[in-house]
Chains A and B, each alone.
Chain A
Amino acid sequence: MNIIEIRNLTKYYGKARGIVDVSFDVGAGEVFGFIGPNGAGKSTTIRTLLSLIRPTSGSAAIFGKDCITHAPEIAKDIGYLPSEVFYYDKMKVIDLLRYSASFYKKDCSKRIKELAERMDLDLKRRIDDLSFGNKKKVGIVQCLLHEPRLIILDEPTSGLDPLMQQTFFDLLREENRKGSTILLSSHVLIEVQRICSRVAIIKDGRIIRTEKMSELTENNYKKIRIETGRITDDSRFDLPGVSHLERKDALLSFFFKGNINLIMKRISEVEISNVWIEEPTLEEVFLHYYQKGEERA
């Protein structure tokens, strides 16, 4: 069963492009990554899912129900953490969390305590005295306190120190193991890489690709660097499947996708002093898609 189904979702702000024809599904129990550079349309997609904005055309469904018409019903089982959290200044942390809990007809007091302890959050302080990072922690507790079936995170880690990020990701993994589905948007690819099983890549408002994380990072690309004794004719490496061919003095580097034997043969034709064949990081894969998109356009 799919938790999220997005079909041809399009949003224009007047004439300005928000997202165009975005479609993807997120299955139950998945940790789904949503990556793209700033302004690509990640937040627009997420805000439409939460019915904060209305699509120009297309539709989105969560738990099989339409996002706009069934918004309040769906929201019962969603936890949402925006990239920047803002709360009512004059409240104490605990009052804000209780206020938040009062919307979900169940007792969350034990869970609030638990989560606050895990996140090392002082419940008695006033919100306006909190630092940016501590406000983010309030956001995390607020997002998870009602044990939602779907957790939506929009650039969640900004403002958290690495230790807290670790705790936060541990928490997310636990929730995922208990059955929650997670949608995480980010431009920090390493964090998507750490936790997600599948990703959609968005650029200029369009989804360029939806892929399994494993396929993205393992099967497709090799990052190859060779050090040649002397500068040779590099055009021999200009094969189909090779991209980002670059030479820096004696170092030649490129990405390769395709039959690995073919490229090995070519490498053996030149005299080399060193060779590295690596899995590209998601960052590099992503950059690759991003630039290929530009060529196409």
Chain B
Amino acid sequence: MNIFLHELKSYRKSFIIWAISMAATAALFLLLYQAISSDIAAFTKVLESVPEALRNALGFLVGSLSTLPGFYSIIFTYLLLCGAIQAMNLGISIVSREVSAKTADFLLTKPVSRAIILNAKLMATLVSLVATNLIFLAVTVPVALSQDPGTNMQLFLMISATLFFVQLMFASLGILVAVVTRKIKSVVAVSLPTVFGFFIVGMLGSVIGDKAVRYLTPFKYFDPAYILANSAYEVSFVVTGAFLIVAAIAMSYLIYVRKDIHTV
């Protein structure tokens, strides 16, 4: 418990800043919704004149953009990007800090097993991410309602929840990376290329609509079109994602418990 509280305290300021900046970004984008709604109306007209087969192919573009959750689901990609960076930074830093701050000799000679130490750190990560998402929702929900009082809240919340899921994936990836490496000098030097790499793979994949690419990048595990059309997530991706999280965490435990801690 003491380790958990200690970790949570040292990351409190960081996750509050992240949550507020992300919420502010989301609010800024939401405020754009009304400004571009006329463009959307014009485009919907264009679509009506094209053959039906084509309209279906592009169907999600129409359906999605004409409602606030639809618009939100598309700009949400950028919030996922920020959230992923936060989560991966947190995952890497919470495990590697004992090595980079050279406090491993302090913590690991205390009468607690390494599994308990990693437990506490994982719990602190989880709680930080939950708190981030709650703060985020506390800001974005009122803003969304102010823009469109008739917002479909179920869809809005389902889209927002993907942030948490994607964050969990990146946090566990970060933890695994930190456990495997001997020493991480700079957290962002690892997290940024990784997160942006996945992000760009996802962006390029989505322009083309390539199905296989979707399994490669956590950013594409939740297809907005599918969520909007079915009010549900795609089971195969949720299962794959959950499996990857569990696998990464399990491996982290196995490695961390046996890891040699070297002198500084």
Q: Which residues of A contact B (CB under 8 A)?
A: 43, 47, 50-54, 71-76, 78, 80, 82, 84-90, 99-100, 102-104, 142
Contact A52 B10 (CB under 8 A): no
Chain B: number of interface residues, binned into ranges: 20 to 34
Contact A47 B263 (CB under 8 A): yes
Given contacts A72-B113, A75-B111, A103-B2, contact A84 B106 (CB under 8 A): no
CA distance A293 to B113 in the complex (A): 40
Contact A99 B101 (CB under 8 A): no
Give chain A nearest CB distance to B2 CB in angstroms.
4
Contact A75 B103 (CB under 8 A): no
Tally A-B pairs: CB < 8 A.
62
CA distance A142 to B109 in the complex (A): 12
**A residues less than 8 Å from B45 (CB atoms):** none
B6 is an interface residue with CB less than 8 A from chain A: yes
Interface centre among B2, B109, B110, B116 (most CB of A within 10 A): B109
Contact A52 B264 (CB under 8 A): no
CA distance A50 to B105 in the complex (A): 9
B39 is an interface residue with CB less than 8 A from chain A: no
Of all chain B residues, the one with the shortest Cβ separation from A48 is B260
Contact A88 B112 (CB under 8 A): no
Contact A82 B105 (CB under 8 A): yes
Q: Is the interface of B mostly helix, strand, loop or mixed?
A: loop
Contact B111 A88 (CB under 8 A): no
CB < 8 Å neighbour of B260 from A52, A90, A104: A52
Q: Which residues of B contact A (CB under 8 A)?
A: 2, 6, 10, 101-106, 108-113, 116, 258, 260-264
CA distance A73 to B111 in the complex (A): 6
Give chain A nearest CB distance to B245 CB in angstroms.
27
Given contacts A52-B261, A99-B2, contact A87 B113 (CB under 8 A): no
Of all chain B residues, the one with the shortest Cβ separation from A73 is B111
15 contacts between A and B (CB under 8 A): A50-B108, A52-B104, A52-B108, A52-B261, A53-B260, A54-B258, A54-B260, A72-B113, A74-B111, A75-B109, A78-B109, A85-B106, A88-B103, A100-B106, A103-B110
Of all chain A residues, the one with the shortest Cβ separation from B1 is A102
Give chain A nearest CB distance to B47 CB in angstroms.
56
**B residues less than 8 Å from A100 (CB atoms):** 106, 110
CA distance A191 to B101 in the complex (A): 29
Give chain A nearest CB distance to B120 CB in angstroms.
11
CA distance A53 to B111 in the complex (A): 16
Give chain A nearest CB distance to B10 CB in angstroms.
7
**B residues less than 8 Å from A80 (CB atoms):** 105, 109
CA distance A82 to B102 in the complex (A): 11
